[in-house]
Amino acid sequence: MKKKRIYLDYASTTPLDPRVFATMKPYFQEKFGNPMSLHSFGQEASEAVEKARKYAADFFGCEPSEIIFTSGATESNNLVIKGVTIGYASQLKKNKKNKLKPHIITTQFEHSCVLSACKKLEEQGMAEITYLPVEKEGVVNIKEAQRAIKKNTILVSIMYVNNEIGTIQPIKEIGKLITKINENRGTKIIFHTDAVQAINYLDCKVDNLGTDLLTASAHKIYGPKGVGCLYIRKNTPIRRIQDGGGHEFGLRSGTHNVPGIVGLGMALELADKERKKNYKIVEKLRDHLISRIMKEIKGVKLNGSKIKRIPNNANFIFKDAEGEGLLLGLDMKGIAVSTGSACSAGDLRPSHVLLAIGLSEEESHGSLRVTLGKYTTKQEVDYFINALKEVVNRLRKIAGK
């Protein structure tokens, strides 16, 4: 008998929407041309890339020339952190009197690709970094962000939605703050947000957010893996971080992943059309899940804000039950969940996100992230909760609790 399989790890990746796959299929075989080629095969592929760029521009409310395609969020975020620093460093060198390093503001609970890029710049002596603390519910304090701004601040990078605990950051408010501060500054502060976890559910129009740079990834929105895009506001001082043939307006060299780019365009179009419907469905299921778990299992704590939270995320701590044990016990029952970011899977260190909101290492080890999606059903949620109760009870008995 085939084991029942339930996927509740949509923050790690999402299944490919059949409509997205159908759009991509021709570009694997019949329409296989290189979009940089001048012949008809190449022009056919080029038209598909530019059509996807237009879809992305419409989604984010910008010009097509302000969208570049990348391999995903990690590449985009590295391009932002390093590319803006290089861009400003070259400007500062022209002013021999200015001996200040470029200053970047981010948070303690950003995605690891942002934190790693920032730490690399620190190690190389290329930039000064301020890592903002977050409040216990996992939300950035705007006043803390304002106080951190210095004369040499060039970039503020704050994620729109945290990938582990689902908290929504006050991006619009921070965008307004930076816009106001820039009115009286010679060197403008660039504002970036990693919107990877927000695109399915929140407004991502760049003018509404006040962002100069915005990161998106296809595989989080029912699109293919290995492709993403970066919005770059016109005249933003950013330099390439890899050399090559000068693709993507000279900022991202390398042959275009045409099927992936086509899939990203379709995924964004569907996300735009179906956002409100999916938001309501997923939020109702998530609230049902949280309500049952909090009522039926003792020693449980919900991490993050109850209000400023993405509708598909629930992150818990279970007292006297290791998160890894919970994950493996549920996996044996055919249920996929997570203990944190999939990008850090296999790392036994406690989550830096949970430590940032003030939890102890012991508490952090007992965390479980459950993230729902548009294909999740109430029957699956109830099956998961019943299985979770069994696994928690078994682990607590083993621990003698």
Same domain, 262 and 281: no
Number of folded domains that form the chain: 2
Same domain, 363 and 304: yes
Would you say residue 333 lies in a domain? yes
Task: Say what the pLDDT of residue 98 is.
Answer: 66
Nearest-Å Rg of the Cα atoms of the chain is 22
Name the domain boundary from 238, 270, 302.
270
Task: Say what the pLDDT of residue 94 is.
Answer: 62
Name the domain boundary from 270, 292, 313.
270
Same domain, 163 and 241: yes
Same domain, 286 and 261: no
Task: Say what the pLDDT of residue 366 is.
Answer: 84
Cβ contacts of 114 within 8 Å, gap of 6 or more: 77, 81, 106, 157, 159, 194
Would you say residue 279 lies in a domain? yes
Helix (H) or strand (E) holding 260: helix 258-296
Task: Say what the pLDDT of residue 370 is.
Answer: 98
E strands, 116-167, where?
Answer: 128-132, 153-157
Would you say residue 1 lies in a domain? no
Residue 215: domain span: 18-270
Same domain, 293 and 367: yes
Same domain, 292 and 257: no
Name the domain boundary from 270, 287, 309.
270
Task: Say what the pLDDT of residue 381 is.
Answer: 98
Same domain, 57 and 199: yes
Same domain, 245 and 358: no
Task: Say what the pLDDT of residue 64 is.
Answer: 97
Q: What does the alpha-carbon distance between residue 265 and residue 54 come to, in Å, rounded to a whole number?
A: 8
Same domain, 69 and 174: yes
Select which of 113, 118, 229, 343 is catalytic.
343
Q: What does the alpha-carbon distance between residue 228 and residue 282 come to, in Å, rounded to a whole number?
A: 24
Q: What does the alpha-carbon distance between residue 40 and residue 57 come to, in Å, rounded to a whole number?
A: 25
Same domain, 95 and 33: yes
Same domain, 103 and 62: yes
Q: Residue holding tokens 């190389």? A: 124
6: nearest Cα among 358, 333, 395: 333
pLDDT tens digits for the chain (401 residues)? Answer: 567 899 999 999 999 999 999 999 999 999 999 998 899 999 999 999 999 999 999 999 999 999 999 999 999 999 999 999 998 876 666 666 667 889 999 999 999 999 999 999 999 999 999 999 999 999 999 999 999 999 999 999 999 999 999 999 999 999 999 999 999 998 899 999 999 999 999 999 999 999 999 999 999 999 999 999 999 999 999 988 787 777 876 688 788 999 999 999 999 999 999 999 999 999 999 999 999 999 999 999 999 998 999 999 999 999 989 889 999 999 999 999 998 654 555 556 788 999 999 898 888 888 999 999 999 999 999 999 999 999 999 999 987 76
Q: Residue holding tokens 């996927």? A: 7
Give yes or no: 343 in active site. yes
Write the single-letter amino acid at 249: F
Would you say residue 180 lies in a domain? yes
Task: Say what the pLDDT of residue 1 is.
Answer: 54
Tell me phi and psi for residue 300, to 5 degrees.
-120, 140
Assign residue 295 the CATH number of its domain.
Answer: 3.90.1150.10
**Beta carbons within 10 angstroms of residue 21's beta carbon:** 16
301: nearest Cα among 345, 344, 357, 373: 357
Same domain, 10 and 143: no
Assign residue 92 the CATH number of its domain.
Answer: 3.40.640.10
Task: Say what the pLDDT of residue 245 is.
Answer: 73
